[in-house]
Structure 1
């Protein structure tokens, strides 16, 4: 049986960061209840409210995407990474092994984050603007970024989404408004 759960950004619990620089709203992680040192994959929304270093996650592949706000600049002190995250809905992939620093480009921003344990899981992160078939994946998250969507038989409006774990699921995603945007995350074995 496919285990699909609805969620809303408005009701996700908010957890402050240890360094005080922001907060996280976890959408889903697997296995359920796994901590930051033992998850196979994790999808969340973070509010970055202050400059500072990103947490290092050894052995983790990461993808981050600006949702709202002025954005941030991500960089390593050796110059290998220097990326402005100031255009919404443009995923940027990087290694959690890297010691990344972050500066704000204005005020606080909200970012969509996907983390997968390298060698176990891999994430495909896409932003959809047109009707599409999202191929089956054993795990995943769909979040309406803007407008309304029909996801198989489920209706989702801005800020609402679906997540599933440990069950192969494919989706027919159909926008129901002109400005609709949907982030689709498929998590598959590496």
Structure 2
């Protein structure tokens, strides 16, 4: 189990200047954009522009903060307003999407998996969460706090793993605590 804090991850600016990305975890560690099996990141979108196409990649995106974005691709038949927080939207990375802001800057949670190698389930949880049950995965606290033993993870903090293992459960601090659980599974 690896712990992380989004505030301690240095953002990397996009080539087009429209935003930045903080990579939380990828497998294998240190893999580039053309060789990862899975990748989880948080992106800040500051201006309208194209989303890069990632052939062979399945994507899920979820609004964390801000007014949201409109994602569109006429060729892929996508026209989706990502404007409700914590509602994952899945799409094929094969399609190059146009992104327009629905207001100001937005912050989004992103999961990418290489088709045929990995798949991901993205769920919002408000109860006890048992990390380590899937082949790999990640938990990010969205609101409130979750305790694991004597450690309390606050909003923007979490943990990830790249092998199934027995781990102490994460217990919500109160009825308003929420986290996103990403369960990653290898293809058979």
Q: 1:129 to 1:80 in 2, by over 3 A?
A: same
- Name the structure 1 match of 2:179: 182
Q: How many residues align?
A: 187
The structural deviation recorded for 1:129 is: 1.6
Q: How far apart are the structure 1 equivalents of 2:25 and 2:69?
A: 24
- The alignment partner of 1:137 has SS state of coil
Q: How far apart are the structure 2 equivalents of 1:57 and 1:138?
A: 23
Q: How far apart are the structure 1 equivalents of 2:185 and 2:76?
A: 31
Q: How far apart are the structure 1 equivalents of 2:112 and 2:77?
A: 20
Q: How far apart are the structure 1 equivalents of 2:105 and 2:152?
A: 30
After superposition, the CA RMSD in angstroms is 1.6
Q: Which of 6, 9, 15 is the aligned partner of 1:12?
A: 9
What TM-score do you get using the length of structure 1 for normalisation? 0.92
- Name the structure 2 match of 1:160: 157
- The alignment partner of 1:10 has SS state of helix
2:12/2:22 contact within 8 Å kept: yes
Q: 1:89 to 1:48 in 2, by over 3 A?
A: same
* Deviation digits for residues 139-182 of structure 1 (CA, Å, limit 9, x no counterpart): 11100000011246642111110011134456633211231110
* Deviation digits for residues 101-127 of structure 1 (CA, Å, limit 9, x no counterpart): 110000010000000000000011101
- Name the structure 2 match of 1:94: 91
Moved more, 162-171 or 141-150: 162-171
User: How do residues 79-158 of structure 1 correspond to structure 2 at under 5 angstroms?
Assistant: 80-133=77-130, 136-151=133-148, 154-158=151-155
What TM-score do you get using the length of structure 2 for normalisation? 0.93
- Name the structure 2 match of 1:55: 52
- Name the structure 2 match of 1:66: 63
Moved more, 49-58 or 71-80: 71-80
Q: 1:171 to 1:184 in 2, by over 3 A?
A: farther
The structural deviation recorded for 1:13 is: 1.3
Q: How far apart are the structure 2 equivalents of 1:110 and 1:86?
A: 11
Q: 1:18 to 1:161 in 2, by over 3 A?
A: same
- Name the structure 1 match of 2:30: 33
